[in-house]
Amino acid sequence: MQPVMKGDEIMDLLDEVFPQIHAGGRVYAIDSVLPGEAAVRLSANELHLRPGGTVSGPSMMALADLAAYVVILAHIGPEALAVTTNLNINFLRKPEPGDLIATCRLLKLGKRLAVVDCGIAGEGQEDLVAHATATYSVPPR
């Protein structure tokens, strides 16, 4: 399945409909959009750290949710009303401060639901720090 939107088009849409994601500065970037897959980067800063100097769970959940949204929008087009109906995350190991990259792939893109698998790893690292699955409700197309 080929994407219908490019990363810069999706970021422009996010800037328009979800400007609040940049409330703490521009920390999210879309690294790639490929057939059935997208990668989104979180440049974690002090706002994303928890005691002990690790990236917080809520920050990783937000990254997984945003990356799932990006891969879905890439394949359905500019549909701001696609919404999360379920997000499940497993934290696997302590992430070090710095950039985290969520790579999400579409498992199913149906008429009403999209299901996404998402792995989160530190930049340049192979071992996942978290794994998430997300289900989105997709408006009728």
pTM of the model: 0.95
75 and 3 Cβ atoms separated by less than 8 Å:
yes
Closest CA to 123 of 93, 90, 96, 105: 96
Range 10-22 average pLDDT: 94
- b/e code 85-101 from CB counts within 10 Å (16+ = b): eebebebeeebeeebbb
Indicate the domain borders of the chain: 7-137
What are 115-136's pLDDT values in tens digits? 999 999 999 999 999 999 999 9
For 47-83, the pLDDT digits (tens) are 888 888 899 999 999 999 999 999 999 999 999 999 9
Distance, CA of 23 to CA of 135 (rounded, Å): 26
How many C-alpha atoms does 34 have within 13 Å on its Cβ side?
A: 9
Six-digit token pair at 92? 């696997």
Please state which CATH number belongs to domain 7-137. Answer: 3.10.129.10
